[in-house]
């Protein structure tokens, strides 16, 4: 219920000046990605998973973390603040 995944494959992308295969992961969460220490732990796990599943080297992957506030996410005709 609290995880959404969108995969967009085949998009043209350049990373570090190269158009070789690469990936970008965008992670947004309420209260889970708010500090460098938290994101360092998440980053390690995501990189382990992505390198294994996609066959990419870690230098071809970028992760962007977005901390969210509950009032920024709408669900069930309200916002998460009230759920």
Strands 78-79 and 74-75: antiparallel
Q: Which CATH number does 21-80 carry? A: 3.30.429.10
Q: Where are the domains of the chain?
A: 21-80
DSSP code of residue 78: E
pTM to 2 decimal places: 0.86
Q: Provide the pLDDT confidence category of residue 5 given band limits of 50, 70 and 90.
A: confident
Beta bridge partner(s), residue 67 = 29
| Pair of tokens at residue 73 | 């996410």
| Pair of tokens at residue 49 | 């998973």
| Pair of tokens at residue 7 | 């995969």
Residue 38 CA from chain centroid, whole number: 13
- Report pLDDT digits (tens) over 28-68: 999 889 899 999 999 999 999 999 999 999 999 999 999 99
């Amino acid at each position: 219920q609290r995880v959404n995944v969108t995969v967009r494959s085949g998009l043209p992308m350049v990373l570090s000046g190269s158009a070789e295969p690469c990936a970008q992961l965008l992670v947004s969460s309420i209260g889970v990605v708010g500090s460098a220490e938290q994101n360092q732990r998440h980053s390690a796990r995501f990189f382990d998973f992505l390198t294994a599943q996609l066959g990419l080297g870690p230098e071809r992957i970028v992760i962007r973390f977005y901390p969210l506030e509950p009032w920024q996410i709408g669900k069930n005709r309200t916002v998460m603040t009230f759920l």
